[in-house]
Chains A and B, each alone.
Chain A
Amino acid sequence: MKDNRIVERDVDNADIRINAKGVNVFYGDSHAIKDVSVDIPANAVTAFIGPSGCGKSTFLRCLNRMNDTISICRVTGDILLDGEDIYDKRVDPVQLRAKVGMVFQKPNPFPKSIFDNVAYGPRIHGLANTRAELNEIVESALRRAAIWDEVKDRLDAPGTGLSGGQQQRLCIARAVATAPDVLLMDEPCSALDPIATAQVEELIAELAENYAVVIVTHSMQQAARVSQKTAFFHLGSLVEFGETGQIFTNPKDPRTESYITGRIG
């Protein structure tokens, strides 16, 4: 796709969903994220771009406290979700993660049936009262993740038996089924063919009507196509953050320009 068109940007800057201020992340002694401040708008897509190892996934994982599971990982700074500090003592990370869903870089379906994979979130959060409701949630999630047609005849088959790209879409469906307010997607399309990619991008656009979506991507075109805001990370620092149109057409920092034109990476 040679699509360098930049989507219409009419972001209401006042409506900020996640507000990160001076975030530092350490893995033991290594300083992975250095003083990053980002505002993630509601009802929009924010893209994180940057070379491999620059800390995109690490920062993304801070937003739903998935870094808590890594014992050597330490996070400082403030991250506010709707004005409330998510690292506050009173916050239960379990409750937070139900609101801030996540799709991981590597597809990780449960070794259970396709149906059970998608139904797991709704089940533990009690989103469906009847079996029919649950079926409906599962179907709509699978449809939105553009995988329904491929799996509708084998919902009882193991999710791990799908191809890599199908597994990734299954994981997207699984995250969507939990109905989060914010969806964090770590390279959701890295294993997908152009058709599935287009479908997932459509889904992202659709989700952005109601949710805040954050997407990490290595594809400049994808960032340009789907996002309204773009953050460029380099060596653990946030180099530039702004309107996608501005970042891609008129970057302020020379490093951003080199990266998007393919000179550093």
Chain B
Amino acid sequence: MTPLVNPPRKSIHQIDARTKKRNAAEARFKAYGLAAITLGLFFLVVLFTTIIKSGLPAFTRTAVAVEMTLSPADHAAAEKQLMKTGAYQKLFVAAVQQQLRIDATDDAIQRLLGKVGGDIRAFYKENPSMIGKAHVFTLSASSRVDAYLNGKLTRETLVDSRFMQLSDLDLVDGLVDAGIIQSTFNWGFITGADSGVDNPGGAGIGASVVGSFYMMLVVLVLSLPIGVAASIYLEEFAPQNKFTDLIEVNISNLAAVPSIVFGILGLAVFIQFMHLPQSAPLVGGLVLTLMTLPTIIISTRAALKAVPPSIRDAALGLGASRTQAVFHHVLPLAMPGILTGTIIGLAQALGETAPLLLIGMVGFVARGYPTGLLDGFTEANSAMPAQIYTWAARADSAFYDKAWGGIIILLAFLIVMNIVAIILRRRFERRW
């Protein structure tokens, strides 16, 4: 054996070349990581500011508050007319004129505020006691008034159209001078339903939130138990053979199938074959369940796999059955992982648009809320992403603001779901 030569003693206060290189590599790696995170955060900030900036107009509405007193004589006269709503419209225009210092034509007011005669007549029909008394009508101004007031539309860029004319802007200025035009929070956007293509101001996302809610209910109720049961069976009970391998591969593949494929499957199976109603949240929920199942199964199996086998041995060694071992010990430990997977799956489903396209939820104008609790499943409705898509596709640029506003609401729901996931995780994890 060659004698080992002791290397010369070195001070540990002196950093040698190898260590220096290693430290440099570590510092570089940390810098990359930091850069990546900074970039990610930067894009997140850009994304959020864009969304919020573009979406906020959807949450405000420009309203005109006009005080009007309908005398009993006027009421009687109007009701005698052939064109009753027209008569009310005239009375309303007169009331506006009174509060303005400039002239405004009937047409101009109609362009700015829409045909309001019907609304006014309906109000007095419902509240006859208000006849003869002063009442303030708060009416939404057209989206072009919004645009003018927040500077998007100027006198220079305005092109006369049947929607607005240059002279109307004098009227708007007059309304501002009279102090009867105001910007208020648009509750209608949150609680309302979709409007027709010519009334972006009246469009709301409420009905499609309800539609989405029913869909998520269907998805949760079906995919969680089915997914968890399937995973438990595959992971804890199923024998290992070619057949289960095949199932396993197929489930992994299903997770990668484009969602539009599930959409067309839903169209063929649920609507054309089973004759379930078109555009119904039930069908949407069923399609999204198909999409969510693989996600839940994969994450549940991963969570079950992560439970140490020694826990199963311990339970079995005490004479617990397999089922007892799974439900008493393995499942509680896997719960945080299962919940995270489920909520990720639900969040994906909530934002999914493509399959809804095929089952008729996109482009459907959800004019109102479902009539009953159970009807919510079967009555045609829209869903949030479908509604956003519909708005974005409409010609009137004011709907574009609505689409952004809808995205804010959708994101708010996703954030809430994620917070719920975190809270649930914490709760279950605390039970070691």
In angstroms, Cα B314 to Cα A106, docked, is 10
In angstroms, Cα B314 to Cα A102, docked, is 8
A175: interface (CB < 8 Å): yes
In angstroms, Cα B11 to Cα A216, docked, is 50
Of the listed stretches B154-162, B163-171, B321-329, name the one at the interface; the rest are far from the partner chain. B321-329
B311: interface (CB < 8 Å): yes
What are the residues of chain A within 8 A of B328 when measuring CB–CB?
120, 124
Contact A101 B314 (CB under 8 A): no
A109: interface (CB < 8 Å): yes
Q: Which residue of B lies closest to A159 (CB)?
A: B432
B120: interface (CB < 8 Å): no
B333: interface (CB < 8 Å): yes
Knowing A71-B240, A124-B324, the reply to whether A95 touches B319 (Cβ < 8 A) is yes
In angstroms, Cα B317 to Cα A97, docked, is 6
Please give the distance in Å from B256's CB to the nearest CB on chain A: 28
Contact B314 A178 (CB under 8 A): no
Number of A-B contacts (CB under 8 A): 69
Contact A110 B329 (CB under 8 A): yes
Set A95, A101, A111, A124: member contacting B317, Cβ < 8 A: A101
Interface centre among A104, A120, A121, A160 (most CB of B within 10 A): A120
Set B239, B312, B317: member contacting A64, Cβ < 8 A: B317
Contact A178 B318 (CB under 8 A): yes
Contact with B along A111-127 (1 / 0, CB 8 A): 11000000011001100
A94: interface (CB < 8 Å): yes
A158: interface (CB < 8 Å): yes
Set A106, A121, A158: member contacting B318, Cβ < 8 A: A121
In angstroms, Cα B313 to Cα A44, docked, is 26
A66: interface (CB < 8 Å): yes
Contact A111 B333 (CB under 8 A): yes
Contact with A along B299-331 (1 / 0, CB 8 A): 000000000101111111111110010001100
Known: A97-B318, A101-B318, A102-B317. 7 other contacts (CB 8 A): A94-B319, A94-B320, A106-B310, A110-B329, A124-B324, A125-B319, A161-B432
Question: Which residues from chain A sit less than 8 Å from chain B, CB to CB?
Answer: 64, 66, 69, 71, 94-99, 101-102, 104, 106, 108-112, 120-121, 124-125, 158, 160-161, 171, 174-175, 178
Q: Can you list 20 residue pairs at the A/B interface with Cβ under 8 Å? A: A66-B313, A66-B317, A69-B316, A71-B240, A95-B319, A96-B319, A97-B316, A97-B319, A101-B318, A101-B319, A108-B308, A108-B311, A108-B314, A110-B314, A110-B315, A110-B329, A112-B431, A160-B432, A175-B318, A178-B319
